[in-house]
C-alpha cells in the first residue's frame, strides 16, 4: 500500500510518501518539504495568526501532493512547536476545519520511542544495545535499549531552532552568548545521564536528523547523493574542533560549507553544541548516522498494526 507521513515539525512540514507492506522495507516514492519554521513563528508562546495561516496553506499543499501521488493512508502528526504552543488546541482545530487533516500531537517521549524503533529496524538486532540521539528544531530526543521498545527515552527542550532563537541573537553570535548556551545545554543533558547509565554502556551509538547529517558531512562524511547504505560517522574529537570554527562564522559563511543548506545554516552552531554536549556527557567517541528517523518510525508502527495478509 502507499502510505504518506505528514510531519509538522519545528523547522519543516514534510510529506514523505512510501510504498510499504508488512515485513518489507518501506520504499520512498515522493518527498514534499516546506521550510515553515513554526518554532520561530511563536509570539508570546503562541503560534500567531500569520503562522497559523501559513501552516494551513502548507498542509493543503501537502494534502494535494498526497492525493496526486495516490496515497491510500495519510499519517499526519505534529511535534514540539505545536505541542508546546499555548494555543495548540486552536491551531489543531483550525487545521482540521480548513483541511480535514487531524494532526496527532506526539509527546516528546513518543518521538524518542518511534525514532528508536526506526534505528533498531535499520541496524538490526546484531547492533546490540543502542543509544539513539536525535536533534530536531525544537527538542533533543535520547533513547536507549536492546529491544524495539527502548528501556529509557527522554525529550529535552534543546532543539537547534529553539536554542538559536532564544540564545544566539548575533550573526556571528557573541562569545559570551555561545558560552552561556554551552553551559545551559550541558546542564540539561547532565540531568538525564544517570537515567541511562544504570543500563550499562551501549554497544552502538547512532544519531538521526538533519543536524547530525550536516555535522557529519562537514567533518568529511559521504554526501547524501552517495546513497543510503554508505556508512557515515561523526567523531567527537573532530566535532569539538568545528564548534569554535562555527561560532566565528556568519550564517552565510556556514551555508558555504559542504552539505549545509542556507535554511539550516543559522542554527547549525546550536545543533553542534548540543551534539558535542551529548557525545561528551554520554562518553561517546564515535557515532553512526542512521538514515531512518521519526517519519520512518511512524510508518513502521503503522505497518505493525496492519492485519496479516
- C-alpha distances (whole Å) from 68 to each of 61, 76, 95, 102, 298 are 11, 17, 20, 19, 22
Listed as ranges, residues in the chain with pLDDT below 50 are none
Location of C-alpha cell 553551559: 183
The per-residue pLDDT for 39 is 77
The string of pLDDT tens digits covering residues 34-64 is 999 887 777 788 999 999 999 999 999 999 9
Going along the chain, which residue ranges are E strands?
2-8, 12-19, 27-35, 42-43, 46-47, 73-78, 104-105, 130-135, 140-145, 152-156, 204-208, 233-235, 286-289
Residue 307: its pLDDT value, please? Answer: 67
249 Cβ partners below 8 Å, 6+ apart? Answer: 172, 269
CATH class of 108-294: alpha beta
User: Would you state the cell numbers that stand for residue 247, as one nine-digit string?
Assistant: 561560532
Domain residue ranges of the chain, discontinuous segments joined by + = 2-105, 108-294
Task: Using alpha carbons, select from 49, 87, 66, 50 the residue that is nearest to residue 14.
Answer: 66
Per cent of the chain over pLDDT 90 is: 89
CATH class of this structure's domain 2-105: alpha beta
Q: pLDDT value at position 251?
A: 97
128 by Cβ neighbours in 10 Å (0-12 / 13-18 / 19+) ranks as exposed
Task: Report the alpha-carbon distance of residue 145 to residue 126 in Å, rounded.
Answer: 13
Long-range own/partner contacts, residues 177-184 (CB < 8 A, 24 or more apart): 178/247, 178/269, 178/273, 181/270, 181/273, 182/273, 182/277
Q: What is the predicted pLDDT for the residue at 308?
A: 57
Element (H, E) at 87: none
Longest CA span, the chain: 60
CB 202 within 8 A of CB 143: no
Buried b / exposed e along 42-80 (16+ C-beta atoms within 10 A): beeebbeeebbebbbebbeebbebbeeeebeebbbbbbb
CA distance 118 to 207: 11
CA distance 159 to 202: 24
Count of alpha carbons within 13 Å of 100, Cβ hemisphere only? 6
Q: Which pLDDT belongs to residue 46?
A: 94
What's the predicted TM-score (pTM) here? 0.95
Amino acid at each position: 500500500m502507499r502510505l504518506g507521513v505528514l510531519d509538522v515539525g519545528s523547522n519543516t512540514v514534510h510529506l514523505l510518501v512510501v510504498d510499504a507492506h508488512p515485513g518489507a522495507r518501506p520504499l520512498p516514492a515522493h518527498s514534499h518539504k516546506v521550510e515553515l519554521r513554526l518554532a520561530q513563528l511563536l509570539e508570546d508562546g503562541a503560534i500567531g495568526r500569520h503562522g497559523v495561516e501559513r501552516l494551513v496553506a502548507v498542509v493543503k499543499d501537502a494534502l494535494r501532493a498526497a492525493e496526486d501521488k495516490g496515497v491510500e493512508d495519510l499519517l499526519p502528526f505534529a511535534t514540539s512547536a505545536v505541542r508546546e504552543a499555548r494555543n495548540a488546541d486552536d491551531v489543531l482545530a483550525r487545521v482540521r476545519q480548513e483541511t480535514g487533516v487531524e494532526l496527532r500531537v506526539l509527546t516528546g517521549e513518543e518521538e524518542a520511542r518511534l525514532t528508536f524503533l526506526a534505528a533498531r529496524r535499520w541496524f538490526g538486532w546484531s547492533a546490540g544495545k543502542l543509544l539513539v540521539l536525535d536533534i530536531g528544531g525544537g527538542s533533543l530526543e535520547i533513547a536507549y535499549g536492546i529491544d524495539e521498545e527502548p528501556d529509557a527515552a527522554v525529550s529535552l527542550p534543546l532543539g537547534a531552532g529553539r536554542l538559536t532563537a532564544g540564545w544566539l541573537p548575533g550573526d556571528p553570535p557573541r562569545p559570551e552568548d555561545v558560552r552561556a548556551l554551552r553551559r545551559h545545554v550541558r546542564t540539561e543533558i547532565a540531568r538525564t545521564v544517570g537515567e541511562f547509565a544504570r543500563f550499562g554502556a551501549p554497544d552502538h551509538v547512532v544519531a538521526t536528523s538533519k543536524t547530525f547529517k550536516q555535522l557529519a558531512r562537514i567533518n568529511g562524511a559521504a554526501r547524501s547523493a552517495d546513497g543510503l547504505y554508505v556508512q557515515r560517522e561523526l567523531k567527537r574529537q573532530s566535532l569539538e574542533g568545528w564548534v569554535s570554527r562555527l561560532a566565528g562564522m556568519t550564517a552565510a559563511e556556514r551555508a558555504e560549507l559542504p552539505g549545509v543548506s542556507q535554511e539550516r545554516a543559522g542554527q547549525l552552531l546550536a545543533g553542534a553544541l548540543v551534539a558535542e554536549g551529548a557525545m561528551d556527557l554520554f562518553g561517546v567517541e564515535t557515532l553512526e548516522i542512521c538514515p531512518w528517523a521519526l517519519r520512518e518510525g511512524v510508518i513502521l508502527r503503522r505497518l505493525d498494526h496492519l492485519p496479516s495478509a
